[in-house]
């Protein structure tokens, strides 16, 4: 009897909220088409180190910064299940509600993640980040096994663009920068023009602080919300965005 009273009491307390909230759509219905329309990217690398790794309108009310590691399985899952619908034609990025920022946070434990980040940043420098980003996530299982990232980057770009990216990475001979468990500054190859981008992202990650990948930070009307870690489905993320937009 007291249990029944408790449940009824809690239900009564929450009923208006639940009615207003409705129920979220199941994951399956939210899965995006593989080749979704891509919102514009700003290819102006000279202006700032980060805008080339962004999706959507910079003036969107919500900014979402995602710290990820290209070799992390949860990050790939997050990209496939959550970010793809967000970036799709019916997603909130295309609708101008969300500005998505990619941040590199390669973890020490993954042997190829920092190299993948180099490829992505080189592509970002020529304004082709989105193609390479998608190729890296879509084929993570393949290149993670043998480290042959180049094959998938080449498939994602035109031959001319691929040559430009290759040329950018040619001077990169030292080990690519990775985040450290002790949060010490990662070493960057001074001759490698993309390493500063990765080092900058890792530094930003330390300040969050990023403790695991994926981690994302949401900013709405200049207010930064606490970082969230782990895989979150698109319907639940969308529900959070809706609650922000209805404030």
Partner 1 sequence: MTTTTRGSIGWVLLLVGRLALAGIFLFAAYAKMKPQAATGWSLGTIKTSLSMFAMQVDSYQLLTPRLVSPAAHLLPPFELFLGVWLLSEVLLRYSAMVTTLLMGLFFATQVRTYRMGLEINCGCFGPGERLGPKTLLHDGSFLALAIAVTVGAFVINRRKRAVSVDPVSASAISTAQHAE
Q: What is the DSSP letter of 223?
A: E
| Helix extents (H) in 73-213 | 73-78, 84-87, 113-125, 129-138, 140-146, 150-156, 159-169, 195-207
* In the complex, least distance from residue 95 CB atom to partner 1, rounded to whole angstroms: 18
Cα 216 to the center of its chain, rounded Å = 8
What CA–CA distance (Å, rounded) separates 40 from 93? 10
SS (H, E, C) 27-72: HHHHCCCCCCCCCCCCCCCCCCCCHHHEECCCCCCEEEEEEECCCC
Contact between 235 and partner 1 by CB under 8 A: the answer reads: yes
Contact between 90 and partner 1 by CB under 8 A: the answer reads: no
* In the complex, least distance from residue 181 CB atom to partner 1, rounded to whole angstroms: 13
Contact between 233 and partner 1 by CB under 8 A: the answer reads: yes
Contact between 42 and partner 1 by CB under 8 A: the answer reads: no
Contact between 229 and partner 1 by CB under 8 A: the answer reads: yes
Contact between 59 and partner 1 by CB under 8 A: the answer reads: no
CB 94 within 8 A of CB 101: no
By CB under 8 A, name the one of 18, 109, 174, 185 that touches partner 1. Answer: 18
Contact between 236 and partner 1 by CB under 8 A: the answer reads: yes
Size of the site for partner 1 (CB under 8 A): 45
Opening angle at CA 38, ends 35 and 43, nearest 5: 135
Contact between 27 and partner 1 by CB under 8 A: the answer reads: yes
Contact between 6 and partner 1 by CB under 8 A: the answer reads: yes
Task: Please list every residue from 162 through 221 that binds partner 1, using CB under 8 A.
Answer: 211-213, 220
CB 87 within 8 A of CB 102: no
By CB under 8 A, name the one of 17, 59, 173, 207 that touches partner 1. Answer: 17
> If you search the block for the tokens 């900013």, which residue do you land on?
219
Contact between 247 and partner 1 by CB under 8 A: the answer reads: yes
By CB under 8 A, name the one of 166, 193, 200, 239 that touches partner 1. Answer: 239
Residues that bind partner 1 (CB under 8 A): 2-3, 6, 9-11, 13-14, 17-18, 20-27, 30, 74, 211-213, 220, 223-233, 235-237, 239-240, 242-244, 246-247
């Amino acid at each position: 009897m007291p249990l029944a009273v408790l449940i009824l009491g809690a239900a009564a307390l929450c009923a208006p909220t639940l009615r207003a909230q409705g129920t979220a759509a199941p994951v399956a219905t939210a899965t995006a088409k593989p080749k979704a329309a891509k919102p514009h990217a700003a290819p102006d690398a000279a202006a700032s180190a980060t805008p080339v790794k962004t999706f959507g309108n910079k003036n969107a009310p919500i900014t979402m910064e995602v710290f990820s590691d290209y070799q992390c399985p949860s990050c790939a899952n997050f990209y496939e299940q959550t970010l793809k619908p967000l970036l799709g034609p019916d997603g909130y990025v295309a609708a101008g509600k969300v500005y998505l920022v990619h941040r590199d946070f390669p973890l020490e434990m993954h042997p190829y993640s920092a190299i993948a980040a180099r490829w992505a940043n080189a592509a970002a420098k020529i304004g082709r980040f989105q193609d390479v980003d998608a190729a890296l996530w879509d084929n993570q299982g393949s290149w993670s096994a043998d480290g042959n990232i180049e094959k998938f980057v080449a498939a994602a770009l035109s031959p001319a663009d691929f040559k430009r990216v290759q040329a950018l990475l040619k001077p990169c001979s030292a080990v690519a920068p990775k985040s450290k468990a002790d949060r010490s500054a990662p070493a960057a190859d001074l001759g490698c023009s993309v390493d500063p981008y990765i080092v900058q992202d890792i530094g930003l990650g330390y300040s969050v602080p990023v403790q695991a990948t994926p981690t994302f930070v949401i900013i709405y009307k200049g207010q930064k919300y606490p970082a969230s870690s782990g895989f979150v489905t698109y319907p639940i993320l969308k529900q959070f965005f809706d609650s922000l937009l209805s404030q």
